[in-house]
Amino acid sequence: MKDFFRKLIVSLVVVIFMATFATIFPKPTIYHYISLLFLIVLIYYFILPLSKIIFRKLSRKFRKFYPKIGILDGSIFSPLREYKCQRSWTNVTASMWFSELIRTLKNKRLKIIQLITVSNINDSFSIIINPFGDNFPEEDIKLHRTFYRICEFIKNGGLFVCTGESFWAHQNTITSETAEWVFIRTEEGMQSLKDSFFYKEFGVETTGDVPGQTQEPLQVEVYQKDEDLSTFGEIINGNISVGRFRAITSRSSDYIPIVRELNDKSFPLALVRYGKGFLIHAGMFLTSAQSPKFRLLLKTIETFVNNKFKNL
């Protein structure tokens, strides 16, 4: 549909352009046609590309000063005609996210917070939140159209919030009421956490279960270093304990810690750069909307919004 309207608009512009030319030059000469050709080339190869660059830069600035936050509602096109998207390793629903963000950002006058379908993901949003933990709604589980739409949003300067082993599972809510792993490569009942989009696309390695030793969620103490405080401000007051679940580790290719586990064993809250934007990853099990882990994530989003996304 978008391609149809794009072609329709281009056709109308061409018709108007030619009609204007015919009106100005009722008896055109060869020099008029050469000038017209030069003008078309100039517009197509220089003015239009330059306009797109300027528009994108203005858009990125605009969404920093007037934030627009989208929360995935778990559907692809319509929540009324699809199965419910299954949450995985989070107890905080999309509606809870919506209510808590409204309350947290109540003093921020110029803002938009809304529940959206994945088909509505676009570059007008400052932040998009996936409240379904390891799972997310996927329009095409073979071609991964939704996943790459999310990647494009981040690459163009957006912030995408996710928790747990992000993009480990997906669910076509039009045809299925259950989620399924994106990759299935088990050996003796176990699967490497590298067999995921989180590792393959973003280069992120996370903590996980160690048979006979540790099993996540695992309670760990977290803190902020001076460098984290100078970049993001005070997100936590002193040391607190969180339920670590698939937190980013130092073996990841690129990341910026926001909150660290003691001795920097992992980074339960961190940014992952992708293009011009960031993935905000919370490697924690969000047990409730009142849990310290969720309040920590809310505080981070509030800080970014109030600081107009400074340092990002």
Percent of the chain with pLDDT over 70: 97
Cis, bond preceding 217 (omega within 30 deg of 0): yes
Nearest CA to 289 among 94, 70, 112?
94
Q: Give the residue, 1 or 179, on which the prediction is more confident.
A: 179
Mean pLDDT of the chain: 90
pTM of the model: 0.85
Residue whose entry in the numeric block shows the structure tokens 């409730």: 288
> Which tens digits make up the pLDDT trace of 262-308?
999 999 999 999 999 999 999 999 999 999 999 999 999 999 999 98
pLDDT above 80 for 187: no
Give residue 108's identity as a one-letter amino acid code. K
- Predicted pLDDT at 51: 79
- pLDDT tens profile 60-98: 777 788 999 999 999 999 999 999 999 999 999 999 999
What is the reported pLDDT for 296? Answer: 95
Asked if pLDDT for residue 17 goes beyond 90, the answer is no
256-261 and 269-274 beta bridge pairing: antiparallel
Selected residue with higher pLDDT from 249 and 26? 249
Question: Which residue from 109, 122, 203 is spatially nearest to 160, judged by alpha carbons?
Answer: 122
Q: Which residues does 217 contact at the CB level (< 8 Å), separation at least 6?
A: 89, 243, 244, 245, 284, 285
Quote the pLDDT of residue 109. Answer: 80
| Mean pLDDT on 29-47 | 83
Secondary-structure percent of the chain, ordered helix, strand, coil, rounded to 5? 35, 20, 40
Q: Select from 34, 58, 56, 54 the least CA-distant residue to 46.
A: 54
